[in-house]
Amino acid sequence: MKFLVIGSGGREHAIVWKLAQSKRIEKIYCVPGNAGIAKQAEIANIKVDDFESLAKFALDNKIDYTFVGPEVPLALGITDFFNSKGLKIFGPSKKGAMLEASKTFAKDFMKKYNVPTAEYKTFTDFASAEKFLKEEWEENKKVVVKADGLAAGKGVIMCQNRAEALTALKEIMQDKSFGSAGDKIIFEQWLEGQETSVLVFVDGKHFSIMPAAQDHKRVGDGDTGLNTGGMGAYAPAPVATKELLEKVKNEIMPNIINGLQKENIDYKGILYIGFMIDNGNPYVLEFNCRFGDPETQVILPLLETDLVDIVENVVNQTLDKINIKWSEKSAVCVVLASGGYPEKYEKNLLITGLNTVKEDEAVVFHAGTKKADDGNILTSGGRVLVITSLADDIKSAIDKVYNVIPKIKFDKMHYRKDIAQRALKWINR
């Protein structure tokens, strides 16, 4: 089998790493990839939204399956384009990707198909949204304000009161801080509780749930500071109890599959469900139409089934024919970031110690790295490396990963010291 993986982050390195373990793999290509991916895949430099060139590349290299990492090509319709050329691809259609690319589409879908979610109201023009806040929203009531479209994770503004909501509304709909992503807006009930991400393989008819994970969005220890793409994760997340997962399996997912079929949505790939658990009740905060980053870096190391087999069964809509097995172990990953991230940071700093990490200690996934002409590995992004350790329990996995990290160095490297502490707190509550 020949695979083409699209993307360049730690998530895509984990996908390539897992595919490379398959006996069925002859060759993996990755576009555009990074320095770590280059060890297991042949890198080609094509833009991820240049579908003509990507499809030509897939045809010329006799690619069996293309695996799409990030949301942008999916939202732009890469799956429909590849299908029209007779190419097999793992990832939902453009309409399916709207579950992530349009929050109003996702909320209306949830409401229509009985998927529990926060109360909300949507607006397509500034004046009526402003009127609603001024006339119908209590002055001191909290509200979550969301831009409708893709905004690289920044389009959600948590507002403590009406005044803050009015400012957020102006930013999104008048100043157009997120461009056309702000053509529509949602005001949403602010939910309290614990968050967890449940990722699901979906073939349009059948589904299979992966171990639940938990991300750490804020840059600083104790969930302080700015939001990031994610500073670390762990799986399985104990907050996703057996009862919760049963509810996802027996109620929420069947309702979602029913909705996909009724709406004629071709969905073959991953559905990432972001939950808020309030008093044991799960509410869907968001859908993503792809693997999470860095959740993938803890989920895929726990996967015991051949990922090639899963991809094949998803694309052929035979997911019910395969029994997907997961390790009983726990995984913790920590993101090593550039100084200054998520704001301005330097690039091209030398990374040392990469070869000193032993295979049984941790897996080193590359995110923002590149290879210099002299063979050295340099930093080239905000999130540089993701280190994942596995152990029999979360506590041992935490100890293991934090023992490995000091071996790796680059100037101004920073990382959170408290990844997965929330899991321990939950277990010891």
Binding stretches for ligand AMP (CB under 6 A):
118, 144, 146, 156, 188-191, 195, 274, 276, 285-286
| Cβ distance to ligand AMP smaller for residue 110 or 385 | 110
Q: Which does 286 bind (CB under 5 to 8 A by kind): ligand AMP, ligand GLY, none?
A: ligand AMP
Give me the least distance between CB of 129 and ligand AMP, in Å please.
17
Residue nearest to ligand AMP (CB): 286
HSE-up (13 A, CA, CB side) for residue 353: 13
d(CA 325, CA 188): 37
Of 274, 394, 383, nearest in space to 332 by CA: 394
| Cβ distance to ligand AMP smaller for residue 33 or 229 | 229
| Cβ distance to ligand GLY smaller for residue 332 or 378 | 332
CB burial of residue 143 (10 Å; 0-12, 13-18, 19+): buried
Residues lying near ligand GLY in the complex (CB under 6 A) are found at 215, 230, 288, 292-293, 295
| Cβ distance to ligand GLY smaller for residue 150 or 173 | 150
Q: What is the DSSP code string of 225-244?
A: EEE-S-SEEEES-TTS-HHH
Q: How far is CA 74 from the centre of its chain?
A: 13
| Cβ distance to ligand GLY smaller for residue 64 or 215 | 215
Q: Which two tokens stand for residue 312?
A: 């094949």
Backbone angles phi, psi at 109, to 5 degrees: -60, -45
Give me the least distance between CB of 171 and ligand GLY, in Å please.
21
Identify each DSSP E strand in 307-371 by its residue range. Answer: 330-337, 363-366, 369-371
Write the CA distances from 268 to 80, 118, 302, 427, integer angstroms.
11, 26, 22, 35
Give me the least distance between CB of 117 and ligand AMP, in Å please.
8
Residue nearest to ligand GLY (CB): 292
Q: Which does 188 bind (CB under 5 to 8 A by kind): ligand AMP, ligand GLY, none?
A: ligand AMP
Of 136, 195, 190, 185, nearest in space to 160 by CA: 190
| Cβ distance to ligand GLY smaller for residue 29 or 67 | 67
Q: Which does 195 bind (CB under 5 to 8 A by kind): ligand GLY, ligand AMP, none?
A: ligand AMP
Q: Which does 285 bind (CB under 5 to 8 A by kind): ligand GLY, ligand AMP, none?
A: ligand AMP
Give me the least distance between CB of 186 and ligand AMP, in Å please.
9
**Is 86 strand, coil or helix?**
coil
Give me the least distance between CB of 85 and ligand GLY, in Å please.
28
d(CA 96, CA 79): 10
| Cβ distance to ligand AMP smaller for residue 188 or 306 | 188
Pair 32, 46: CB distance under 8 Å = yes
Q: Which does 292 bind (CB under 5 to 8 A by kind): ligand GLY, ligand AMP, none?
A: ligand GLY
Q: Which does 144 bind (CB under 5 to 8 A by kind): ligand GLY, ligand AMP, none?
A: ligand AMP
Give me the least distance between CB of 73 and ligand GLY, in Å please.
15
Of 132, 134, 127, 75, nearest in space to 103 by CA: 75
Give me the least distance between CB of 114 and ligand AMP, in Å please.
18
Supply angle C-alpha 230, 234, 236, rounded to 5: 140
| Cβ distance to ligand AMP smaller for residue 43 or 118 | 118
| Cβ distance to ligand GLY smaller for residue 148 or 293 | 293
Q: Which does 191 bind (CB under 5 to 8 A by kind): ligand GLY, ligand AMP, none?
A: ligand AMP
Q: Which does 288 bind (CB under 5 to 8 A by kind): ligand AMP, ligand GLY, none?
A: ligand GLY
Identify each DSSP E strand in 181-258 by its residue range. Answer: 185-188, 194-202, 207-209, 214-215, 218-220, 224-227, 232-235
Give me the least distance between CB of 100 and ligand AMP, in Å please.
9
Give me the least distance between CB of 188 and ligand AMP, in Å please.
4
d(CA 60, CA 178): 37
Distance linking the first and last C-alpha atoms of the chain: 48
Of 387, 353, 382, nearest in space to 152 by CA: 382
Give me the least distance between CB of 336 and ligand AMP, in Å please.
22
| Cβ distance to ligand AMP smaller for residue 118 or 245 | 118
| Cβ distance to ligand GLY smaller for residue 158 or 349 | 158
Q: Which does 203 bind (CB under 5 to 8 A by kind): ligand GLY, ligand AMP, none?
A: none
d(CA 284, CA 404): 35
Give me the least distance between CB of 259 and ligand AMP, in Å please.
18
Pair 414, 335: CB distance under 8 Å = no
